[in-house]
Amino acid sequence: MEQPFYLLLAAGVLIVIVSLLFPRRTRRDSRQKQFEPQNQAEHKELEMTLQHFVEQVKADNQRVIDNMRETKSELFSEVRELRERLRALEEEMAGHTRSGSSASAPAPEEEQTGESAAADALLLRERYRQAFDLKAKGMPIEEIAKQLRAGQGEIELIFSLAAPTGKGGAHG
């Protein structure tokens, strides 16, 4: 008699376990079905948002590509013009060299033309302006010298000549 009792008890426990698991599955299925339309709507909205984002990225990329092409063509035309200008200047320089070499006595260095002296003065002013601009940005003298490919002493001299003296002026 004990054996059928244990069998009935085991069968009952098994039925209770199965009955507890089965309704939960159906509850989960019903919950999923209840939220499924909402998930579908959210899914479609998310998909549309992603498509819009991808379209914006593609448009931005196309604008960047177009901008790069335009910049590239501008740079190429500028390089072409500079090459033509360089070629013309080289030809002009060659003409001056040929005419200068045919002269009997070379001109002394002291007799520079007014144009070359003015060009040197402009280059020197530009160098000074660059030095003062870099100093105004807070760059140290060592970095200014490196950037302008000048000696540190030269840069210090430029700044010291421009600085007002305590004696009432530079000519004191």
All residues at 6 or more sequence positions from 134 whose CB lies less than 8 Å from its CB, including other chains:
143, 144, 147, 148
What is the distance between the alpha carbons of residues 42 and 106, in angstroms, rounded to a whole number? 89
123 lies in a domain?
Answer: yes
What percent of the chain stands above pLDDT 70? 76
pLDDT at 171: 47
83 lies in a domain?
Answer: yes
37 lies in a domain?
Answer: no
The residue that leads in pLDDT, 49 or 125, is 49
Residue 168 has pLDDT above 70, yes or no: no
Q: Is-contact 158 141, C-beta < 8 A? A: no
34 lies in a domain?
Answer: no
**Is the same domain home to 159 and 124?**
yes
**Domain boundary residue, one of 65, 98, 131:** 98
- Minimum mean pLDDT range among 24-33, 43-52, 56-65, 138-147: 24-33
18 lies in a domain?
Answer: no
- Number of structural domains the chain divides into: 2
**Is the same domain home to 89 and 127?**
no
pLDDT at 33: 63
143 lies in a domain?
Answer: yes
Q: What is the pLDDT of residues 61-103, one digit of tens each?
A: 899 999 999 999 999 999 999 999 999 988 888 888 777 655 5
pLDDT at 119: 75
- Minimum mean pLDDT range among 92-96, 102-106, 126-130: 102-106
Residue 1 has pLDDT above 60, yes or no: no
134 lies in a domain?
Answer: yes
**Is the same domain home to 90 and 55?**
yes
Could you give the C-alpha distances from 90 to 30, 117, 141, in angstroms and in order?
88, 20, 36
Mean pLDDT along residues 139-149: 91
Calculate the average pLDDT of the chain.
79
**Is the same domain home to 89 and 124?**
no
pLDDT bracket for residue 170 (50, 70, 90)? very low
pLDDT at 43: 85
Q: Which of 119, 133, 132, 137 is nearest to 163 (CA)?
A: 132
What percent of the chain stands above pLDDT 90? 25
**Domain boundary residue, one of 40, 64, 98:** 98
Q: Which domain holds residue 130?
A: 119-165
Mean pLDDT along residues 13-40: 69
**Is the same domain home to 90 and 124?**
no
104 lies in a domain?
Answer: no
